[in-house]
A and B are shown apart, each in its own frame.
Chain A
Amino acid sequence: NAGVTQTPKFQVLKTGQSMTLQCAQDMNHNSMYWYRQDPGMGLRLIYYSASEGTTDKGEVPNGYNVSRLNKREFSLRLESAAPSQTSVYFCASSLAENTGELFFGEGSRLTVL
């Protein structure tokens, strides 16, 4: 029972470098989400995908791009990392768009120097 799997769990980048966070779910869920968690800021939505083939911006999309590769996989890309993107990133999925339980991965801790 893997649920939602994120890779990598830890990453250190230099300012200006690029990287992709990978997320996969094995629950046959339609919707997937990327959140960032910063101290005292709670969970803020970056992008989400209501269904395969669609993506939408969340509250804090600047500096990020996403790809819904197929029903299982949803990746988050930082094209030119900035120190302000130092955060813990969580991928989540749900059976249907914006309703019901979100299932979260264990997070990816990103540090941008």
Chain B
Amino acid sequence: EIVMTQSPGTLSVSPGDRATLSCRASQSISSNLAWYQQKPGQPPRLLIYGASTRATGIPARFSGSGSGTEFTLTISSLQSEDFAVYYCQQYNKWPSLTFGGGTKVEIK
């Protein structure tokens, strides 16, 4: 099983600041990585797939990068609605796909 490790566990950021979230895979997954945002009481929402392609309707302030084992989600200027938990998910080895443990982005 491919283990996805996200860091940090919690990120405290001020509105308008930049947030950088990391996701590491235990083995190479090429660019087969997605990012999701989850708010309390809601299901996850797809943000990024293919490591760097924004899903439909996702604002340009969200960007993804990386390949192989190291990936980054950047939120360029945090808005109030961006405070949430973010998950990465690998899909390099279907049907054995796995999620990271999440990074909570909270207001500083």
A and B associate: no
Interface residues of A (CB under 8 A from B): none
Chain B residues near A (Cβ < 8 Å): none
